[in-house]
């Protein structure tokens, strides 16, 4: 047993070790821990005037930072990665305090930050353009990439630091300052990260004003979305939020990078290794108390294996310890708040009305304090009804049955969201057909839907928003492309053979 103790004091101590000021206790914005509902801080939220001044400062910094060679910009991110490694346990503790993740998951999230810094440092020497053959003699045709401008990052509570780092490490090496609006539920992690980044900037002599944090409500986010000086808005959140953000940014011809809802499905074929599938499904569906965008929410199992598979998953669920994430042996921590619990109860009621059968879980777990704890639920469904097609941000796994592979693909793709997907099979043809047919941004074989690595581009299609963050060529979202034609001849031939003489 590792007693929680005074959570406010623990948060304050972790912040101080990261170089941030102790959390205020006299502001209008109250930060509470989902672990027991206790108060962590009362912060002073940003106002509209603060947003204007912050974006102005970031815009001024852009004028300097864009002139710094990209490999030199990489020095800042390298130093940030070093500091994140030094303060890994402090940041992980803040993630657990604010988001309720179990320590191993919190440490994993901070490791993602370190990993993306390493990736971005290498990227700082690989912002490659292309040289293309010109149809005109004595001419060279090429493309070059240039810093874009101020990047606004609007992040969600469930990954309070990793998603920020995916954007910020890449944006900084691309030459862009960052203004970060963290979730109102997890601002302390943002203050700690900001302090470490400022220290890194001082250590390498980077210009001031490259990074800013704005703590506040939706009005702060709206001000960033509408500001024409913000070149790119990278927003993570609900589909409803994306429907608001996208047209407003488009109206001013800005750029959007959206990471929205996920209603992720996994197909389990008749040839699947069920031992492997059960382990993967349990982590993907119950990890982080079902509060990942990549959480497995729909299990589409072949009729020949569905009964055994469901029984084995239910048995595994019965061994999951739910409780205070700081307690030894706990694998499922709290829901973020009572609203999440209410949404879960409503979804389970709707599933029952649709003919669903609750196999296990769904009940509340009593834990000292005012946190909200539930047992992850498994529900057998007769069909993919409306409630199954909607994302409920809670640990509910709907089990569906199929007979033919085409039916499985139709069920899998028959939702509005398109983030992550997987199949469990030892049939190579099935695996290849699935990779070609899945309409998601992420498609896996014999692993779950969650646990993406930073080397690949992260994001989804359809109502997930189409954005890509982290690895591969996601960096292109943070830069602008120019096509250049250079005439090194003494003549002036026109393209397509046009004569104008």
The separation between the first and the last C-alpha atoms of the chain, rounded to the nearest angstrom, is 87
Residues 285 and 352 in one domain: yes
Say if residue 39 is in the same domain as residue 156.
yes
Residue 57 counted as domain residue: yes
363 has a pLDDT exceeding 80: yes
In a domain, 147, yes or no: yes
| Angle ∠(200,204,208) on CA atoms, nearest 5 | 70
Orientation of helix 103-123 relative to helix 88-99, angle to 10°: 120
Q: How far apart are CA 116 and CA 112, in angstroms?
A: 6
Question: Do 269 and 234 sit in the same domain of this protein?
Answer: no
| Residue 254 structure tokens | 């800005």
Residue 450 lies in a domain: no
Catalytic residue among 109, 112, 259, 430: 259
C-alpha distances in angstroms, 475 versus 169, 172, 293, 480? Answer: 10, 10, 21, 10
Distances (CA, A) of 79 to 179, 228, 320, 390: 19, 31, 39, 42
| pLDDT confidence of residue 49 | 87
Q: Check: CB of residue 116 under 8 Å from CB of residue 85.
A: no
CA-CA distance, 263 to 347, in Å (whole number)?
14
Query: Same domain, yes or no, for 407 and 361?
Result: yes
Q: Is residue 88 part of a domain?
A: yes
417 pLDDT more than 60: yes
Distance CA 423, CA 448 (A): 8
Q: Does pLDDT of 113 surpass 90?
A: yes
Q: Are residues 46 and 195 in the same domain?
A: yes
Q: What is the pLDDT of residues 427-474, one digit of tens each?
A: 999 999 999 999 999 999 999 999 889 999 999 999 999 999 999 999
Which contiguous run of DSSP H or E holds residue 86? helix 70-86
What residues form DSSP beta bridges with 335? 372
> Which residue among 293, 430, 440, 463 is the active-site one?
293
Is pTM, for the whole model, over 0.85? yes
* pLDDT reported for residue 2: 40
Cα-to-chain-centroid distance, residue 312: 30
Tokens linked to 256: 């959007």
Distance CA 279, CA 312 (A): 10
Could you tell me the pLDDT band of residue 48, with boundaries at 50, 70 and 90?
Answer: confident
Number of domains in the chain: 2
pLDDT at 22: 74
- What pLDDT is recorded for position 1? 35
Whether residues 474 and 337 share a domain: the answer is: no
Which residue in this structure is represented by tokens 């490791």? 111
Cα 284 to Cα 286: distance, rounded to the nearest angstrom: 6
Q: Residue 64's domain is classified under what CATH number?
A: 3.40.605.10
What DSSP element (H or E) covers 168? helix 162-174
Q: What is the pLDDT of residues 377-415, one digit of tens each?
A: 999 999 999 999 999 999 999 999 999 999 999 999 999
Residue 259 annotated to the active site = yes
Q: Is the pLDDT score of 3 beyond 70?
A: no
pLDDT tens-digit readout, 194-247: 999 999 999 999 999 999 999 999 999 999 999 999 999 999 999 999 999 999
- Measured N-to-C along each axis, helices 187-204 and 88-99 cross at an angle, to the nearest 10 degrees, of 160
Calculate what percentage of the chain has a pLDDT beyond 70. 99
Alpha helices in 287-327 (DSSP H): 306-318
Q: What is the CATH number of the domain that holds 304?
A: 3.40.309.10
Bridge partners (DSSP) of residue 374 are: 364
Structural domain of residue 144, as residue ranges? 7-260+465-482
Whether the per-residue pLDDT at 59 is higher than 80: the answer is yes
Question: How would you class 368 by CB atoms within 10 Å of its CB: exposed for 0-12, middle for 13-18, buried for 19 or more?
Answer: exposed
Q: Is 226 part of any domain?
A: yes
Q: Is the pLDDT of residue 101 over 60?
A: yes
- Kindly state the average pLDDT of the residues 322-350: 98
From 169-173, 228-232, 339-343, 496-500, the region with the lowest mean pLDDT: 496-500
Strands (E), 222-330: 230-236, 255-259, 264-268, 296-302
Task: Give me the helix-helix angle, 162-174 and 103-123, nearest 10°.
Answer: 10
Is residue 457 in some structural domain?
Answer: no
CA–CA gap between residue 219 and residue 48 (Å, rounded): 8
Task: Specify if 339 maps to a domain.
Answer: yes
Q: How confident is the model at residue 501 (pLDDT cuts 50, 70, 90)?
A: confident
Interatomic CA distance for residues 474 and 470, integer angstroms: 6
Pair (144, 41) in one structural domain: yes
- pLDDT of 5: 57
Is the pLDDT confidence value at 340 over 90? Answer: yes
Residues paired with 398 in a beta bridge: 298, 379
Phi/psi for 138 (5° steps) reads 75, 20
Token readout for 161 is 């630091």
* 379 bridge partner residues: 358, 398
190 with 223, same domain? yes
Instruction: Give yes or no for a contact between 306 and 411, defined as CB atoms under 8 angstroms apart.
Output: no
117 labelled catalytic = no
Nearest CA to 411 among 431, 432, 441, 381?
381
Residue 11 domain-assigned (yes or no): yes
Regarding whether 312 and 170 lie in a shared domain, the answer is no
Q: What is the pLDDT of residues 119-176, one digit of tens each?
A: 999 999 999 999 999 999 999 999 999 999 999 999 999 999 999 999 999 999 999 9
| Higher per-residue pLDDT: 396 or 5 | 396
Backbone angles phi, psi at 73, to 5 degrees: -65, -30
Q: Tell me: do 252 and 339 sit in the same domain.
A: no
Do 360 and 256 belong together in one domain? no
253 and 285: one domain? no
């Amino acid at each position: 047993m590792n007693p929680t103790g005074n959570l406010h004091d623990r948060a304050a101590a972790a912040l101080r070790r990261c170089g941030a000021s102790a959390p205020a206790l006299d502001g209008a914005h109250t930060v509470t821990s989902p672990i027991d509902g206790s108060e962590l801080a009362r912060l002073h939220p940003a106002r509209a005037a603060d947003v204007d001044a912050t974006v102005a400062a970031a815009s001024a910094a852009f004028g300097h930072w864009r002139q710094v060679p990209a490999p030199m910009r990489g020095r800042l991110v390298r130093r940030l990665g070093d500091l994140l490694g030094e303060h890994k346990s402090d940041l992980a503790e803040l993630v657990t305090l604010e988001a309720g993740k179990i320590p191993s998951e919190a440490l994993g999230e901070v490791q993602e930050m370190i990993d993306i810094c390493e990736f971005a440092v290498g990227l700082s020497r690989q912002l490659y353009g292309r040289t293309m053959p010109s149809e005109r003699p004595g001419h060279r045709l090429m493309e070059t990439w240039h810093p874009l401008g101020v990047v606004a990052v609007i992040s969600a509570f469930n990954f309070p630091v990793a998603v920020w780092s995916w954007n910020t490490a890449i944006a900084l090496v691309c030459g862009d300052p960052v203004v970060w609006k963290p979730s109102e539920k997890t601002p302390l992690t943002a203050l700690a990260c900001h302090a470490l980044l400022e220290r890194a900037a001082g250590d390498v002599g980077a210009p001031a004003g490259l990074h800013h944090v704005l703590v506040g409500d939706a009005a702060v986010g709206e001000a960033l979305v509408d500001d024409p000086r913000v070149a790119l808005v990278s927003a993570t959140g609900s589909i409803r939020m994306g429907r608001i953000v996208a047209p407003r940014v488009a109206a001013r011809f800005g750029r959007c990078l959206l990471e929205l809802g996920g209603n992720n499905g996994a197909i389990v074929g008749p040839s699947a290794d069920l031992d492997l599938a059960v382990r993967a499904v349990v982590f993907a569906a119950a990890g982080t108390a079902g509060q990942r965008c990549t959480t497995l929410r729909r299990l589409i199992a072949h009729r020949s294996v569905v009964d055994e598979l469901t029984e084995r998953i239910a048995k595994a669920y019965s061994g999951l310890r739910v409780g205070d994430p700081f307690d030894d042996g706990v694998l499922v921590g709290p829901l973020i708040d009572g609203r999440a619990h209410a949404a879960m109860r409503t979804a389970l009621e709707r599933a029952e009305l649709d003919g669903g059968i609750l196999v296990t879980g769904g009940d509340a777990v009593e834990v000292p304090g005012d946190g909200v704890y539930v047992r992850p639920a498994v529900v057998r469904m007769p069909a993919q009804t409306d409630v199954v097609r909607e994302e409920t941000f809670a640990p509910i796994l709907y089990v569906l049955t199929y007979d033919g592979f085409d039916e499985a693909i139709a069920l899998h793709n028959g939702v509005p969201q398109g983030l992550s997907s997987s199949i469990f099979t030892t049939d190579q043809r099935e695996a290849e057909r699935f990779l070609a047919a899945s309409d998601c941004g992420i498609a896996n074989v014999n692993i779950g839907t969650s646990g993406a690595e930073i080397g690949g581009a992260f994001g989804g299609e359809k109502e997930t928003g189409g954005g890509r963050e982290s690895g591969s060529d996601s960096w292109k979202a943070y830069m602008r492309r120019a096509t250049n034609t250079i005439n090194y001849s003494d003549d002036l031939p026109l393209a397509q053979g046009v004569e104008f003489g």
